[in-house]
Amino acid sequence: MTVRIGTRASNLAMWQANTVRDTLARHGIEAVLVPLTSTGDRSLGGQLSASVGQFIHAIDDRLLSGEVDIAVHSSKDVPVDVDERVSNLAYLERGCTTDLVITRATKGVPPLESVLNDTDSTPLASILEVFPDGATFGTVSGRRQAFLLSQRPDIVPLAVRGHVETRISRLMEGRVDAVVLAEVGVKRLNSVGALDDVKGDLAAFRIDPADWPTAPGQGAIAVHCTRARYEELAPLRALLNHEPTEHDVAAERALLKEVGGGCLFPAGVGVQGNRVHVHVAPENWRALFCQGTVYNMFRYAGPSDGLDITLPVQPLETPPMAPSGPRYISTLNSDRISRVLSNQGIPMDNVPVVDLVPLFDRWPSSFLHNYERKRDWPYLVLTSPFAAKCAVAAAESNPDIGRIPWLAIGEGTARACFRLGVTVAVCAQARNARELATYIVERFAADTPLFLPRSDLAAPELERTLRDAGFAVTSWTGYENRPKAIEQMAVEPLDVLVLSSASSARSWAENSLRVPREILCMGENARKTISSLDHFSNARVSVLSGPTSEALVKWWQEHRTD
């Protein structure tokens, strides 16, 4: 019979499927490839938590329908719990399991070609020294993000999705400072000339495996069949299966399942015979990171019979209470900023004064069929942490929102997404609507569609500026601001009130809360609102300049330090 091989249509997936076909051909078995497109190939967003195994389900469905006889996958993409009607028929001999940090050609960083041709590796700490504060790394892998951020919490992870070639293209466009890729995939693409046009412009480090255990199954090619046909296809298994690879990958997958994780879990698990190498982050590592807390990793390297996995448990820390004396009183409601200031000896109390209510029925849905190509898909522009939280919640029942790329105004908004499991595609590092508009106009083609959920009290400047620049903007009221009832609180003259928005200023005034002599606010729109309200007439109002935590530290040191 002619064996029908189901595969994704990417260059890398076709390389894997061709390897299976060629192996069968050497033993006189005819086979044909049946390329298919998966849901994962049709997504650009950073929300992966709801779609574990998305790269393999569509292919395995063709097995179950009888359209193909076997399916070929990258083993690291296969969930630990697969459809019980599907069996793993074979693992081909494994390639290398290391990861590469790839950058644009940079002085002091080895050329990609030379790295692929040698065996040298570099400690992770030494690699990260090359990158400045706030460097952007393109990866949506929970393992890679957790490992990077445990060493460098200032790094900004961004969603760079798609085929390896697409991710490298985003790097070359300057969307990110680096991408983290499996070396085996880069080598396989290089072997067929798929990187010839760009590899001369790329530099790379191979991450020392001692610092970076592999993703379970990385480097191995898995071949699936239906459970009902396993015995019938056993002759193919005899030709394809590499027993040492099968042993190691099965052990890695079993360990990953033991700790309760899937392919998105922040765990590196490598097995070679009787040797095990494991790193696991706490399950709540995202929340710890977003809070500004250093998190501890479980680490083990040694014989498998000596392994006793005790997952790290690290509760979130309660922000310290402000001592007596001058303090910031803030409506930002940010534990991370409170912790940053506390580490500088600067007290801050968070006093949230606004309830923000999502209006999910107003968000556009089922819109992607209007676009012929992924490159034409809109960007979702998020202008505040609450807009980010609304978007994450909306995506749970509105899958098209989760599939498009998201653009965050700044790091606080990006972190709000990240804490909830979504990695934004772009972080503008803008402080206000004017800077965000400038960022978009300078870096995006004017034919890029933009989706803009806004508050019911949002100023029109951002949308107006983008439309005037030629952008097609779809905007809607995605959430409402509702003042909270706040009890009167003690406020001393030397305290400093930090008002995060115009709506917070209005709520503060409506509650008739006391006002100190100094007010700091976030942006010109908030300043105008504060100045228009008689309640604040006796206070001096200043607009913060620069990243929020840094600006607050600088202001305090200049105005409240003895």
Which among 144, 175, 403, 419 is annotated as catalytic?
144
Is the pLDDT at 59 greater than 70, yes or no?
yes
Take residue 432 and report the two structure tokens written for it.
Answer: 């206000």
pLDDT digits (tens, 9 = 90+) for 269-301: 999 999 999 999 988 899 888 888 889 888 999
Indicate whether 198 belongs to any domain. Answer: yes
Which among 225, 263, 290, 521 is annotated as catalytic?
263
Q: What is the pLDDT of residue 39?
A: 46
For residues 431 and 453, membership in a common domain is answered with yes
Q: How confident is the model over 213-217, as a mean pLDDT?
A: 92
For residues 371 and 455, membership in a common domain is answered with yes
Indicate whether 314 belongs to any domain. Answer: no
Indicate whether 377 belongs to any domain. Answer: yes
Between CA 238 and CA 257 the distance in angstroms is 27
Which among 94, 161, 336, 415 is annotated as catalytic?
161
What is the count of structural domains for the chain? Answer: 4
For residues 198 and 220, membership in a common domain is answered with no
For residues 254 and 340, membership in a common domain is answered with no
For residues 274 and 419, membership in a common domain is answered with no
pLDDT digits (tens, 9 = 90+) for 241-274: 999 999 999 999 999 888 776 656 789 999 999 9
pLDDT digits (tens, 9 = 90+) for 478-489: 999 889 999 999
User: Nearest 5 degrees, angle CA 509-CA 517-CA 501?
Assistant: 45
Q: Active site includes 540?
A: no
Domain around 199? 99-211
Q: What is the pLDDT of residue 548?
A: 83
For residues 233 and 295, membership in a common domain is answered with yes
Q: What is the pLDDT of residue 54?
A: 63
Indicate whether 323 belongs to any domain. Answer: no
Q: What is the pLDDT of residue 320?
A: 60
For residues 159 and 75, membership in a common domain is answered with no
Q: How confident is the model over 411-436, as a mean pLDDT?
A: 91
Reported as a pLDDT band with limits 50, 70 and 90, residue 53 is low
Which pTM was predicted?
0.86
Q: What is the pLDDT of residue 263?
A: 55
For residues 473 and 503, membership in a common domain is answered with no
For residues 346 and 461, membership in a common domain is answered with no
Who's near 147: CB < 8 A, 6+ residues apart? 124, 211, 212, 266, 268, 279, 281
Q: Active site includes 167?
A: yes
Is the pLDDT at 49 greater than 60, yes or no?
no
pLDDT digits (tens, 9 = 90+) for 528-554: 999 999 999 999 999 987 778 889 999
- Residue ending a domain, among 447, 463, 483, is 483
- Residue ending a domain, among 185, 211, 237, is 211
Indicate whether 107 belongs to any domain. Answer: yes
Q: What is the pLDDT of residue 43?
A: 54
Is the pLDDT at 313 greater than 90, yes or no?
no
Q: Active site includes 144?
A: yes
User: Nearest 5 degrees, angle CA 389-CA 390-CA 396?
Assistant: 95
The mean predicted confidence, pLDDT, of the chain is 91
Is the pLDDT at 32 greater than 90, yes or no?
yes
Quote the strand ranges of 287-432, DSSP E. 298-303, 328-330, 348-350, 354-358, 379-382, 406-408, 426-427
Give the domain CATH number at 204.
Answer: 3.40.190.10
Indicate whether 104 belongs to any domain. Answer: yes
Indicate whether 319 belongs to any domain. Answer: no
pLDDT digits (tens, 9 = 90+) for 166-212: 999 999 999 999 999 999 999 999 999 999 999 999 999 999 999 99
Between CA 393 and CA 395 the distance in angstroms is 5
Q: What is the pLDDT of residue 94?
A: 96
- Residue ending a domain, among 483, 513, 546, is 483
- Do residues 395 and 47 touch, judged by C-beta distance below 8 A? yes
Which among 94, 167, 170, 454 is annotated as catalytic?
167
Q: Active site includes 517?
A: no
CB environment 444-453: b (16+ within 10 A), e (fewer): beeebbbbbb
Q: How confident is the model over 125-129, as a mean pLDDT?
A: 96
Reported as a pLDDT band with limits 50, 70 and 90, residue 3 is very high
- Do residues 200 and 48 touch, judged by C-beta distance below 8 A? no
pLDDT digits (tens, 9 = 90+) for 220-241: 999 999 999 999 999 999 999 9
For residues 56 and 199, membership in a common domain is answered with no
Percent of the chain with pLDDT over 70: 95
Is the pLDDT at 40 greater than 60, yes or no?
no
Which among 143, 253, 454, 506 is annotated as catalytic?
143
Residue 417 — φ and ψ, nearest 5°?
-65, -45
Any idea which of 321-335, 460-474, 497-511 has the lowest mean pLDDT? Answer: 321-335
Indicate whether 503 belongs to any domain. Answer: yes
For residues 500 and 439, membership in a common domain is answered with no
For residues 70 and 200, membership in a common domain is answered with no
Give the domain CATH number at 543.
Answer: 3.40.50.10090
Q: Active site includes 77?
A: yes
For residues 84 and 48, which has the higher predicted lDDT (pLDDT)?
84
Reported as a pLDDT band with limits 50, 70 and 90, residue 162 is confident
- Do residues 99 and 180 touch, judged by C-beta distance below 8 A? yes
Is the pLDDT at 405 greater than 50, yes or no?
yes
Q: What is the pLDDT of residue 105?
A: 95
Q: Phi/psi class of residue 81: alpha, beta or left (left: φ > 0; alpha: ψ in -120 to 50)?
A: beta
Between CA 28 and CA 459 the distance in angstroms is 70
Which among 41, 60, 69, 77 is annotated as catalytic?
77
Is the pLDDT at 441 greater than 50, yes or no?
yes
Q: How confident is the model over 301-328, as a mean pLDDT?
A: 79
